[in-house]
Amino acid sequence: MRKLTTYSLVLALYAALAVLHTWPMALHMGEATPGSFNTIPTGGFMAEQAILFLQEHPFNLHKAFDPGLTAPLESPFLFLGIPFGLSQIFGLFFLPTQNLHFAINGAMLFMLIGSAFSMFFLAQYLMKSTRAGVVAGVVFSFTAAALCRTVDFIDMNMVIVPWILLFLFKYIHEDKARYLYIAVGLLALQFYMYFYHCLFAVYLMAAIVIWRRKAFFTKEHIPAIAGAGFMGVLLILPLALPYLQTMVQYRLDQMTGSSESLFSYTFAYSPSEWFNAAKENLLYGAWLAQDYETAGFPDFPHAALFPGVLVWYLILTGAGRMPRERISPWFLTGVLVFAVLASTGWKPLQFFRWEMSEAVVLRHLSQVLPLGSIIRNPTRLVVFYTFALALLTAGAFAGFEQRILKAKGKAAAAVLLAAVIAVITVENLSIPRPMYNFDALFGPTQSDLWLAENNPLTSPEESILHIPSKERLYQYDEGVPPARLYVESNVGLYRRLWVRQTSANSHTSFLPQDFVLPETRQLPSLDAQEYLYAQGVRLLAVHESLLYGKYKERFSRKNMTAQGFNLLASFDDGDAIYAMHPDICTADRLIILPIIENGRLEVLGLTPSLFDAMLKQEPVTPCFWLNPKTCRSQTMWATFSDRNGKLRRRKYSYHLPLVVKGSARFIEDDLAEDGLEGPFSMVSLEWNEPYFTPPPGVEYRE
């Protein structure tokens, strides 16, 4: 009974912290989350497909995924495991209500609570201290909430991994085979849920086994190890076989000179997140540029290498000490001091709120780790740092607690626990916006929004999912004429194309631009085209991936022409550009965005040949729609082609008053500090020879 009471209080603490992290979301659980697909956790895209299928086939739960997307994987187990996973159990609530927003918001809330609670149990077992376990959960909760602003919620989801390690340690310590079987079973479940965390768990398990190899590899343990390994292979086989088949086919086609991309294979044949996220999760690093400056480092990323190495030295050193029965109090107390300094504003060590320094190390680490080459974004491995930091801080607390208990007793230890939690809480709540900007992530309040009730995109005829408030139009100043509204969609009938700009100091951020990509496999109706045309959209771009499988006929050139779309350009690789309906749209004014990427113009999701052709259209109006929090006062080298095809290079800086994501009051306050007055609206950089003509607020730097 005493343990139950303790666990209930700990769970209540973590629930309170999760609500604190997500307070705006907690007030609007059933409402849309402003932002593109990228701002919602893994499962939203799959849930969208599941809802659509269930509406058409309500009694076929086991085939709730589009077969064209998931191919041979159509079992009830995968339906429950892949899109939601154990940590996203709230996602199941959308089935009776079809409210995807409630499901996703609940999943994020559950993830923060469950991850902290799992860390509590692991740290409690390793440190043999309930108080140390509480500290581990608190540290992980705050660190995850801060880092997910630039990494993603799903990357901080650690509900299962701590249990995998816990049962592995219990097997080593207690020599009971069932613990090893449970650990391997959970590892297989993690494989189905999210591959990166499965890989992370494998790394940790391998490190533990190597470290305790004398206790692990004994004659008595061989049957249990062999049986658990065989069970794990059987469990992951349904997903591993399609993956291997896809990779083999891709390599064979590469050898024969095929121009197909890996994405076109994987998107068609596998639902695993490490595949379909390639063209979806494009928001990484949206705030890194600002934090890189405020962290006090010079204007090149390698300056962060030293503190990153220092963190990893402490982590790797501490990892070999903590699971022992006797913990070095001096070492762990030093780690606690380091963690407090890191979280209280000492700029070279702001790791609680900023992950760039260790990301430099992780980028190199991902190249040498087994299977590390499949990790597309090295910031995925930031979970290493978060996980280890929580355990190290808990270990330091445990060592500190041992010394206090000997001298002052349990009351002093309780005071110490409260003080540590208070310091972490107060310090993390002081994180400046937009790093801790919940409005940008979960959406501003109704007073900050302008909701277009009569938007044609929200009509039942247009909303293929029929989810209330699925599509919204946001305008942050009611005094601005509704000539340019911010179109948002969670599960999206029309999604924005997020394009990548890379600055001179190698930071990458992603910017929205008004192209229509039929990612939901639906063509916009005439009414929708008219509305989008009024907002400046002139093109419909068909990516090669839509020309394979069940959508081949729908997006064929013949069918598109019959639907009234005027073909402007097509290419050998399958990409095509269409104008909107010829009655309402011509190719006289194409709106594109030149992107600086490796010295050439490029937009994610479409091949360079597509945009080479777009640049040949006359006249071209590059439209920048940037977040001043991200891009203001950035000095960049722009390399671009002029109308004659000649490459030009210019160093310039951004400082633009624009309509941006987030709450107006924070953006306007920031711009007001720089002497800029609202209301803020779209700013275009007109193309003039030989360079861009800067609008008000843009200053060239020679």
Q: Does 263 map to a domain?
A: no
pLDDT of residue 467: 21
- Do 190 and 219 reside in the same domain of the chain? yes
CA atoms within 13 A on the CB side of 58: 4
- Do 236 and 358 reside in the same domain of the chain? no
Give bridge partners of residue 176 from the DSSP assignment: none
Q: Does 550 map to a domain?
A: yes
- Do 84 and 211 reside in the same domain of the chain? yes
- Do 575 and 530 reside in the same domain of the chain? yes
- Do 516 and 598 reside in the same domain of the chain? yes
pLDDT of residue 673: 52
pLDDT of residue 394: 78
- Do 360 and 344 reside in the same domain of the chain? yes
- Do 247 and 307 reside in the same domain of the chain? no
Q: Does 31 map to a domain?
A: no
pLDDT of residue 264: 36
φ/ψ of 635, rounded to 5, equals -95, 125
Boundary residue ending a domain (401, 419, 436): 436
Buried b (16+ CB within 10 A) or exposed e, 660-689: bbbbbebbbebbeeeebeeebebbebebee
Q: Does 470 map to a domain?
A: yes
CA distance 90 to 22: 16
Model confidence pLDDT, tens digit, residues 510-529: 233 333 333 334 555 565 55
pLDDT of residue 120: 92
Coil, strand or helix: which one is 425? Answer: helix
- Do 496 and 396 reside in the same domain of the chain? no
pLDDT of residue 395: 75
Q: Does 277 map to a domain?
A: no
pTM for this model (two decimals): 0.49
- Do 525 and 547 reside in the same domain of the chain? yes
Identify the segments of the chain with pLDDT beneath 50: 24, 31-91, 94-95, 148-152, 258-315, 317-321, 323, 325-327, 339-363, 427, 429-521, 535-536, 581-643, 645-671, 674-702
**Nearest partner of 22 among 146, 116, 130, judged by Cα:** 146
Q: Does 598 map to a domain?
A: yes
Q: C-alpha distances in angstroms, 561 versus 3, 408, 568?
A: 69, 82, 11
φ/ψ of 472, rounded to 5, equals -135, 150
CA distance 315 to 306: 14
- Do 227 and 181 reside in the same domain of the chain? yes
CA distance 82 to 427: 36
C-beta neighbour count of 268 within 10 angstroms: 18
CA distance 156 to 353: 14
Boundary residue ending a domain (406, 436, 466): 436
Q: C-alpha distances in angstroms, 41 versus 275, 491, 605?
A: 15, 12, 20
Side chain identity at residue 273, one-letter code: E
Kindly write down the DSSP assignment for every residue of 73-107, as one continuous string: ---HHHHHHTTT-GGGGGGGGHHHH--HHHHHHHH
The number of folded domains in the chain is 3
Q: Residues with Cβ < 8 Å from 107, sequence gap 6 or more?
A: 41, 43, 84, 87, 88, 89, 90, 91
Angle between helices 410-429 and 382-407 (to 10 degrees): 150
Long-range contact pairs involving 520-524 (C-beta distance under 8 Å, separation at least 24): 520/48, 520/464, 520/492, 520/493, 520/495, 521/546, 521/551, 521/554, 522/464, 522/493, 523/554, 523/560, 523/563, 523/565, 524/493, 524/494
Boundary residue ending a domain (419, 436, 453): 436
pLDDT of residue 278: 26
**Nearest partner of 490 among 144, 99, 70, judged by Cα:** 99
- Do 557 and 599 reside in the same domain of the chain? yes
Q: Does 243 map to a domain?
A: yes
Long-range contact pairs involving 175-184 (C-beta distance under 8 Å, separation at least 24): 175/220, 175/221, 177/223, 177/224, 177/227, 177/228, 180/224, 180/225, 180/228, 181/224, 181/227, 181/228, 181/231, 183/228, 184/228, 184/229, 184/231, 184/232, 184/235
Q: Rounded to the nearest 10 degrees, how much is the dihedral formed by the CA atoms of 336, 341, 347, 351?
A: 30
- Do 617 and 501 reside in the same domain of the chain? yes
Q: Which domain holds residue 386?
A: 286-436
Q: Does 61 map to a domain?
A: yes
The residue count of the chain comes to: 702
